[in-house]
């Protein structure tokens, strides 16, 4: 695989420890989307942390979700799930599929976890960038999906079309895209570490702020008619971004398109992992 399979400091916070024959991982800055049996019972449970413990000898895992609050009126508590059998799939994810846990309060638990290391945009040194996928039903009523507040994607394929003449440019893959979700405001920030729209153009860091986002089945979407991009904190109105539309699914599939400065149309396919001739996402 072309990249090593969390982001501390700059991106999603995490704490990884390898203790003998076990691995512990803390995921912070997460939130839960809770869907109840009525629209009024749907809810966003924010400021959630998730502690994972994988016993490598016994093949079981413990999961603790702190600040768990499935309804706005319930008391925050820690939801503990213990003795969960786990395995590793062909992409390197540690996988849990459990029909029942927590004395039957949790059913249809599905979880996938992988610990990646990617180059830091600031220093170039390797830093952790974990991925945690989790969904379950609570008390037979509430369908719950975990979201990270920040996701890092790698560009698997981008096509930039020059609107004037229809010519196409394809940048090298693996450009980093970081999406930061603000569930309170329902807006997102997109950071591109190495945007490039033409052969002669130097790759630059670009930030798109205050993009409205909404939930879709299995993920989220980004949609903005117009915004002013920034680079190193400086706005560039001459490169106004228009008609931005992105569909991100929590399994790692993310497609996004936008027009830059009325000059280029950009369409990208992003994934959690790098493209590889033998491992397609």
* Mean predicted lDDT score pLDDT of the chain: 89
The domain segmentation of the chain, as residue ranges, is 14-148, 150-271
Distance CA 83, CA 146 (A): 20
Does the domain spanning 150-271 belong to CATH 2.40.160? Answer: yes
Res 16: pLDDT: 55
- In the block, residue with structure tokens 């009523």: 141
Res 279: pLDDT: 43
pLDDT, tens digit (0-9, with 9 covering 90-100), for 18-50: 556 999 999 999 999 999 888 777 899 999 999
Are 137 and 127 in contact by the 8 Å Cβ rule? The answer is no
pLDDT, tens digit (0-9, with 9 covering 90-100), for 74-120: 999 999 999 999 999 998 999 999 999 988 999 999 999 998 888 88
Class of 14-148 per CATH? mainly beta
Give the dihedral sign, CA 134/10/159/187: positive
Centroid of chain to Cα 175: 15
Locate 49 and state its tokens.
């942390």
Res 49: pLDDT: 97
Q: What is the DSSP letter of 89?
A: -
């Amino acid at each position: 695989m072309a990249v090593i399979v969390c982001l501390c400091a700059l991106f999603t916070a995490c704490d990884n420890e390898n203790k003998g024959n076990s691995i512990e991982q803390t995921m912070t800055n997460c939130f839960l989307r809770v869907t109840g049996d009525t629209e009024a019972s749907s809810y966003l449970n924010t400021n959630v942390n998730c502690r994972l413990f994988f016993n490598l000898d016994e093949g079981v895992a413990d999961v603790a979700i702190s600040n768990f609050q499935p309804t706005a009126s319930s008391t925050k508590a820690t939801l503990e799930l213990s003795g969960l059998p786990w395995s590793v799939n062909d992409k390197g994810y540690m996988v849990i599929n459990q029909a029942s846990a927590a004395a039957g309060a949790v059913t249809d638990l599905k979880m996938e976890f992988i610990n990646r290391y990617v180059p830091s945009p600031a220093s170039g040194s390797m830093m952790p960038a974990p991925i945690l996928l989790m969904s379950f039903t609570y008390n037979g009523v509430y369908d719950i999906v975990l979201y990270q507040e920040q996701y890092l994607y790698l560009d698997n394929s981008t096509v930039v079309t020059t609107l004037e003449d229809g010519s196409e440019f394809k940048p090298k893959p693996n450009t980093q895209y970081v999406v930061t979700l603000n569930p309170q405001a329902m807006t997102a920030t997109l950071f591109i570490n190495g945007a490039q729209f033409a052969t002669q153009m130097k790759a630059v860091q670009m930030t798109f702020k205050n993009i409205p986002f909404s939930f879709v089945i299995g993920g989220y979407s980004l949609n903005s008619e117009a915004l002013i991009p920034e680079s190193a904190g400086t706005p560039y109105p001459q490169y106004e971004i228009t008609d931005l539309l992105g569909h991100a699914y929590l399994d790692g599939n993310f497609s996004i398109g936008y027009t830059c400065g009325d000059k280029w149309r950009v369409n990208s396919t992003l994934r959690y992992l790098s493209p590889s001739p033998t491992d397609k996402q």
